[in-house]
Amino acid sequence: MSTFRERNDRKSRGEQGSSGGPRDGRQRGGKPGWDPTRPRFKPKKEEGSGWVWGRHAVEAALANPARAREMRLLATADRARELQPILSRHRRDLRPEIVESKQLTDRLPTGAVHQGVALRVAPLEPVAVEELGADAAGVILMLDQVTDPQNVGAILRSAAAFGARGVVLQDRNAPVLAGALAKAAAGAVDRIPVARVTNLSRALEKLSAMGWRSVGLAGEAEQTLAQALDRRPTVLVLGSEGEGIRRLVSEHCDALGRIPMPGGFESLNVSNAAAVALYETVRKAEQG
């Protein structure tokens, strides 16, 4: 263990101890030894996972009574005026902080398309699988290791468009429902119930006991999706683009179906596949 004096000696030489710091004698602030390639100080960005940005995503979050009351709203002057009707109806005690667009850009993760508004808010509480499946009717989506926030957001948007009952995610392999995901979902994060589970296979067993039939999407399936579906309440199971549905999850599905692609292309983006599958499932149900 180093002594207090040794730690001080290292600091004077610019070496890094356990608490971090300059390693090679560089000093900040333009003093001798300052490295011009180092980024200049900027206001610390808060984690993107704590923010919702974009007009549709923020409006939906403001209107959602399940959201915590404590929020921080940053908006340009024009956007703040547009939000006043929603604030008057749902968040009368919330006062937007007027900022310039560049301040929002600096505050949020790189590439965030904020449209002049961002909302700092606590994450939504997930629902239980039993709650999603309580009334066995319609369709539920289950995502097996789909980890890309843009894809999950787009799938939530399609789920809302086609009236899905909810979405089941694996807890340890799914992104947070904020940031880029919420922007891609265009407000669906606050409209579609989401359950997070430790084990997808056990979740399928629970839903099966509640009257749900599970159909997994698999490119190698003998049946088409239309053939695999019937008019019963359906859990649509989708896997990641690279690996697809994992074996154990697949074995817990009642049927497997593929999306026919006569054009000869090998596969669809998982969010596009979800939209096609949802349409087919709803169409099949309406035939009854």
What is the distance in angstroms between the CA of the first residue and the CA of the last residue of the chain?
75
Do 102 and 133 lie in one domain? The reply is no
- Going by pLDDT thresholds of 50, 70 and 90, the confidence category of residue 288 is low
In whole angstroms, what is the distance from residue 150 CA to residue 272 CA?
12
Average of per-residue pLDDT across 101-121: 95
Tokens of residue 147, six digits: 């980890």
Share of the chain above pLDDT 70, in %: 82
| Domains held by the chain: number | 2
Tokens of residue 202, six digits: 């056990």
Position 166 in a domain: yes
Q: How far is CA 125 from CA 193, 195, 254, 263, in A?
A: 9, 9, 30, 42
Do 133 and 276 lie in one domain? The reply is yes
pLDDT of 27 > 50? The answer is: no
Q: Determine the structural domain holding residue 180 and report its residue range.
A: 129-287
Look up residue 121 and give its DSSP letter: E
Give tens-digit pLDDT for 211-261: 999 999 998 899 999 999 998 999 999 998 778 999 999 999 999 999 998
Q: Strand, helix or coil at 158?
A: helix
- Going by pLDDT thresholds of 50, 70 and 90, the confidence category of residue 26 is very low
Position 1 in a domain: no
- Going by pLDDT thresholds of 50, 70 and 90, the confidence category of residue 97 is very high
The dihedral of CA 89, 95, 99, 104: what is its sign? negative
Position 7 in a domain: no
Q: Which amino acid is at 241?
A: E
b/e sequence 113-130, b meaning 16+ C-beta within 10 Å: ebbbbbbbbeebebeebe
Average of per-residue pLDDT across 105-118: 95
Average of per-residue pLDDT across 140-162: 96
Average of per-residue pLDDT across 55-68: 95
Look up residue 127 and give its DSSP letter: B
Q: What is the pLDDT of residue 6?
A: 42
Position 20 in a domain: no
Which strands, in side-by-side order, build the sheet including 97-98?
51-53, 117-121, 71-75, 97-98
pLDDT of 41 > 50? The answer is: no
- Going by pLDDT thresholds of 50, 70 and 90, the confidence category of residue 190 is very high
Share of the chain above pLDDT 90, in %: 70
Q: What is the pLDDT of residue 48?
A: 52
Q: Which of 13-17, 118-122, 270-274 has the lowest mean pLDDT?
A: 13-17
More confident residue, 30 or 187: 187
b/e sequence 223-239, b meaning 16+ C-beta within 10 Å: eebeebbeeebbbbbbb
Position 278 in a domain: yes
H/E stretch holding 254: none
pTM: 0.80
In whole angstroms, what is the distance from residue 4 CA to residue 242 CA?
52
Position 26 in a domain: no
Q: Domain boundary residue among 103, 121, 139? A: 121
Do 175 and 99 lie in one domain? The reply is no
In whole angstroms, what is the distance from residue 150 CA to residue 203 CA?
24
Position 262 in a domain: yes
Dihedrals φ, ψ of 143, to 5°?
Answer: -110, 120
Average of per-residue pLDDT across 177-184: 94
pLDDT of 49 > 70? The answer is: no
- Going by pLDDT thresholds of 50, 70 and 90, the confidence category of residue 44 is very low
Do 116 and 161 lie in one domain? The reply is no
Average of per-residue pLDDT across 152-162: 97
- Going by pLDDT thresholds of 50, 70 and 90, the confidence category of residue 262 is confident
pLDDT of 70 > 70? The answer is: yes
